[in-house]
Amino acid sequence: MTDQRAAPIFTAPPRATFWQMLGPGGLISFGLALLGGGLLLGVPVFWRLRQVLRAADGSECSPSDVILVLGRRLQDDRPTQVFEARLDHAARLLGEGKAPRIVIAGGLTGKASISEAEVGRERLLKAGIEPEKILVEDRSQHTLENLFNLRETLRGEAWNTLILVSDPLHLARAGALARGLGLNPSCSPATACPPLRGSPGWWTRAIYEAFLLHWYHTGVAYSRLIRSERQLSRLT
């Protein structure tokens, strides 16, 4: 008799390299994204760039069940300026009554000896936020896993509304990933995040995010084309 049980959903190991994070179908979809972008003279990437720039302004944030702060790789076990700005923005939203709690996502990445989520929690505690208002998700290695693992928490707690906090140029991709997983977040940009808006670094990051967004949509389309339940179970 054939075993009909679904294959376990892929998760990256702690401190995973870029290639280890790709998971099933990741390398092929990466190649297809590069090929498609090249053959079409970059048009798909520039189309996604428009979405990245539009999403950078965020969306209207109504009172929600939870605020999610997406993690960011640490430097010497300390938060980067980008991660600090994300955390500080989430703290302001909490203070404004936009949600009663914050979830900080991010596991062990790079050479860190402590998870991104725990470092974020310590910063919010020092800012005077009560411990019971801070939750951590410390298993994930990247944005997709941040959101995938949070979905489990949302369903378990019967929370239905979510404010997604990240730096402005990350929000298009993060929002697309969240919607792909069946979430419907409001996206709130931490505008203090470097690089400075309109600077060369800003445009470099914007184009990079546009390619990653193009890659994500290519991966979803490829997974549906070959009807890979294993790949789709990680993306949808």
User: Residue 8 has which token pair?
Assistant: 């376990």
For position 22, what pLDDT does the model report?
Answer: 79
Record the pTM. 0.91
For position 8, what pLDDT does the model report?
Answer: 61
Determine the 3-state secondary structure of 162 from DSSP.
Answer: strand
Contacts of 122 (CB under 8 A, 6+ apart): none
For position 105, what pLDDT does the model report?
Answer: 95
For position 2, what pLDDT does the model report?
Answer: 35
- Long-range contacts for 87-90 (Cβ within 8 Å, ≥24 apart)? 87/120, 87/123, 87/124, 88/127, 88/190, 88/192, 89/165, 89/188, 89/189, 89/190, 89/191, 89/192, 90/124, 90/165, 90/190
User: Residue 108 has which token pair?
Assistant: 């062990």
Q: What is the mean pLDDT of each run of 10 residues along the chain (236 residues)?
A: 49 78 86 92 94 94 95 94 97 97 94 95 97 94 91 90 96 96 94 95 97 96 91 85
- What is the radius of gyration, based on Cα positions, of the chain? 18
> Mean pLDDT for the chain?
91
Find where tokens 């798909």 sit: 44
For position 95, what pLDDT does the model report?
Answer: 96
Rounded Cα gap, residues 66 and 72, in angstroms: 19
User: Residue 27 has which token pair?
Assistant: 């390398």
Print the SS3 string covering 9-59. CCCCCCCCCHHHHCCCCHHHHHHHHHHHHHHCCCHHHHHHHHHHHHHCCCC
- The model's pLDDT over 155-185, given as tens digits with 9 standing for 90+, comes to 899 999 999 999 999 999 999 999 999 998 9
**Domains in the chain and their CATH numbers?**
57-189 (3.40.50.620)
Rounded Cα gap, residues 138 and 113, in angstroms: 12
